[in-house]
Amino acid sequence: MTAWSKLLVATTRLIDLHDSAHEPGSAFVQVSQEQRRGLRDGYWLDLGCLLLDFLLDVDFATNSAFVSQTRCLMHLREHYPGLPADDLSFVVNLLATPSEIHFRSAPPTLESNEARGMASTKRTALIEKQGQTGQVRLTPSGRQAVTLASQVEDLLYSEYDAAKVLAALARSDFARIPDITNQILMAIRALTQELRRIRENPTREGKLAAFLDNERHYHNALSTIQNTLLSARSQLATPDAMQRFEAWRESQDEEWDLRMLSGAIGRVLNAIENLSRRLSELLSDIAEGRIQSMGVVDFADLARRVLHAPLPEALRDTLVARMMPFGLKVAMPRNSTLVPLLETRRAEKSDAALVFDEQADARPEDPLLARYLEARGPALRQRLEKAPLSLPEALEEGWHHFEAQDCLAQLLNTFVDTQLVDCRLSVGVEARPFVVTLADGRRIDGPVTPSLGFFQGDEAGLSPRNEPSRVAQRVAEQDETL
């Protein structure tokens, strides 16, 4: 990640806040991923960053003189051979066009209760372009942006910041000492956090290799910073420095104490001691091979490995018993959280016309059902001609077996859609429960028993034609009792 990338990472979400159209006081606080336009390949951003870096180098060499776009194009073609001049013109015009930024100004004094006032600025153009010649140079905002991007905190170069503390003491510029020590402290804390991430996640082999390469330089930088700050703290205790500090403090509006300066230096020394201990622990872990067992579990990789080679049954049962939830409930997601995930996509143009013709319907979508009806349909009709067939009887007679496989679903379809076998068939229902246990252990039961047959129309599908209706008999018995 380059310095420009780090600058963008730190400011992108602030730009999202600036451009947000969220209504103040709205109860809808969910945030979705911002939909950004563009090529999403970093081409234009890379051109702009290379151009700004080049203009800063030229700015130092020529004392802020204008540069021709032809010279800029020749420099960029070192990175992008064959770069069109129009691409450079587009980047120059975009960076030279200001955009307005709205912000709130701070109150005049801390004691006043005045509200923050609205303000805006258009000094956002990074490049200044001449109207006649088209030559370019950096604006103050552009020079500040390049400088901020280049000031990436790195401990390897903080030893020069420690020397600034001695220079501030020599010039009696005591107010600069806390700011300088805070910069060093930020660099030390950044490296400390990076070491913690390496120890917690050893899969970051690139970071680990880069650290091992610079390990000697880190120790030298820490030693130099520590010696420099110890020298600065000892100078603060000298009578000459104390007299100069007292004279300087009397001319300041704020109250200063010499312990504030020594405390700021002491915090950096404590951070150096903590970082040195972490460096020693990490090197010890690497030498003894313990770094490989200190990372977090990559569950995505674990899932892929389980798919290729299933776990043993004992380990699988243990994991399921420990990791599965105790109770399962229906989860109903909120509609508001799903709305940002929905996208309307424009369908591709097609010259084929869609014609709906019910006369030429396709064959059933289930090819197994079609083969089942074609093979077992005639025999099933002959069986129904003799007597109605209830579902338990059909299972006992094995009508759900076909082509050496189980066709229970296809058999049930004949009870649901009777016209699959014969258009004269209908279903009769008897008010008696049934329980059937198949050979493979499946258990099929129901509170009523359906029967498939050629029933008489006046019996309303409740009684087969060749046997008395049990439901009708029970209804008659209940009438007599009443």
Position 325 in a domain:
no
Same domain, 134 and 180: no
Same domain, 47 and 168: no
Position 334 in a domain:
no
Distances (CA, A) of 85 to 36, 82, 93, 172, 482: 26, 9, 12, 53, 102
Q: How far apart are CA 266 and CA 278, in angstroms?
A: 19
Q: How far apart are CA 92 and CA 128, in angstroms?
A: 9
What element of type H or E holds 137? Answer: strand 136-138
**Owner of token pair 């008489």:** 456
Are 103 and 120 in contact by the 8 Å Cβ rule? The answer is yes
Left (φ > 0), alpha (ψ -120 to 50) or beta: where does 63 sit? left
The residue count of the chain comes to: 482
Same domain, 168 and 138: no
**Owner of token pair 């600034």:** 164
- pLDDT by residue (tens digit) across 332-372? 655 555 555 554 444 455 555 545 444 455 454 557 788 88
Q: What angle do CA 16, 152, 160 make, to 5 degrees?
A: 155
pLDDT at 434: 85
| Residue 445 CB coordination number (10 Å) | 10
Residue partners of 162: CB distance under 8 A and separation at least 6: 180, 184, 224, 225, 228, 229, 232
pLDDT at 461: 43
Q: Which long-range contacts (CB under 8 A, 24 or more apart) does 374-380 make?
A: 375/402, 375/403, 376/402, 377/420, 377/421, 380/414, 380/421
Position 312 in a domain:
no
Q: How far apart are CA 37 and CA 390, in angstroms?
A: 65
Position 299 in a domain:
no
pLDDT at 15: 83
Same domain, 77 and 204: no
Are 392 and 434 in contact by the 8 Å Cβ rule? The answer is yes
pLDDT at 426: 85
Q: How far apart are CA 5 and CA 271, in angstroms?
A: 28
Same domain, 134 and 173: no
Same domain, 188 and 98: no
Same domain, 142 and 236: no
Position 467 in a domain:
yes
Q: What is the CATH number of the domain that holds 95?
A: 1.10.10
Residue partners of 236: CB distance under 8 A and separation at least 6: 169, 242, 245, 258, 261, 262, 265
Three-class DSSP category at 443:
strand
Of 278, 293, 308, which marks where a domain is finished? 293
Same domain, 180 and 234: yes
Of 271, 293, 315, which marks where a domain is finished? 293
Same domain, 7 and 142: yes
- pLDDT by residue (tens digit) across 285-330? 666 655 544 444 566 777 788 788 888 888 777 777 777 665 656 6
Same domain, 288 and 186: yes
pLDDT at 78: 92
Position 60 in a domain:
yes
Amino acid at 82: G
**pTM greater than 0.75 (yes/no):** no
Q: How far apart are CA 435 and CA 457, in angstroms?
A: 29
Position 31 in a domain:
no
Residue partners of 461: CB distance under 8 A and separation at least 6: 426, 427, 428, 429, 455
Of 259, 293, 327, which marks where a domain is finished? 293
Listing DSSP states for 172-233 in one string gives T-TTHHHHHHHHHHHHHHHHHHHHHHHHH-TT-HHHHHHHHHHHHHHHHHHHHHHHHHHHHH
- How many structural domains are present in the chain? 3
Same domain, 82 and 172: no
Closest of 334, 367, 396 to residue 30, by C-alpha: 334
Same domain, 165 and 129: no
Q: Which domain holds residue 407?
A: 366-481
Position 24 in a domain:
no
pLDDT at 458: 46
pLDDT averaged per 10 residues, the chain (length 482): 72 82 82 78 89 87 86 92 92 91 69 66 88 88 76 64 87 88 81 71 59 74 87 89 89 84 89 81 65 54 80 79 64 56 49 50 62 85 86 85 80 83 84 84 84 67 41 40 38
